[in-house]
Amino acid sequence: MTRVKVGILGAGGIAKVHTSILKKDERVQIIGVADIVEERAASLAKEAGEAKAVKSLEELFDLGVDAVYVTTPNTMHVEPVLKCLENNVHVFSEKPMATSLEGAEQIRQAAERSKAIYNLGMNRRYASVYKRVKELVDSGEVTHSHQVKKTGINLCLI
């Protein structure tokens, strides 16, 4: 069986969660962890098993990754996602997709052009608060102007 070679970009808390899950999947081989803080990259690479600690996304590409998990801070998702897609490297990105509509649109367009798959992690979509928002939308209590009719609460539904 051919294993998918995965790189992790960003070695913070959520990267540890993804690493622990990926390690259990026999179809996956974590081959690299990149972080600007070398000690964090080295620590997570050690946790991952045989992964190499590197400093940049480009170094993950040099390792021959098939896919990259982008687990950087929220404001730093767009650039690495775009680079992955431009290089036809599959990408899983932590939420949010971007912190601006412009960034989200850039990713959407890049995903359309790329041969790679873009996947946005939406692990909270079934949480009770989001179920409630969906109920409000489905019931018509939330209008196209993003206001709850009964309470006047403004919602940002991006």
Burial level of 92, CB count in 10 A (0-12/13-18/19+)? buried
Q: What ranges make up the beta strands (E) of the chain?
A: 4-9, 28-34, 52-54, 67-70, 90-93, 118-120
Could you give the CA distance from residue 134 to residue 113 in angstroms, rounded to a whole number? 31
Percentage of the chain beyond pLDDT 70 is 89
- Per DSSP, 97 falls in state S
Domain at 4-120: CATH code: 3.40.50.720
CB 121 within 8 A of CB 96: no
Q: Which CA distances in Å does 103 have to 27, 89, 113, 154?
A: 32, 19, 16, 23
The pTM assigned to this predicted structure is: 0.80
Indicate whether 26 pLDDT > 60: yes
Where along the chain do the CATH 3.40.50.720 domains lie? 4-120
93 phi and psi angles, rounded to 5 deg: -115, 135
- Residue 30, SS3 per DSSP: strand
User: For the segment 36-78, what is each residue's pLDDT rounded down to a tens digit?
Assistant: 999 999 999 999 999 999 999 999 999 999 999 999 999 999 9
* Structural tokens at position 49: 């098993």
Average pLDDT over residues 28-39: 97
pLDDT of 144 > 70? The answer is no
Instruction: Estimate the share of the chain in helix, then strand, then coil, as percent rounded to the nearest 5.
Output: 40, 20, 40
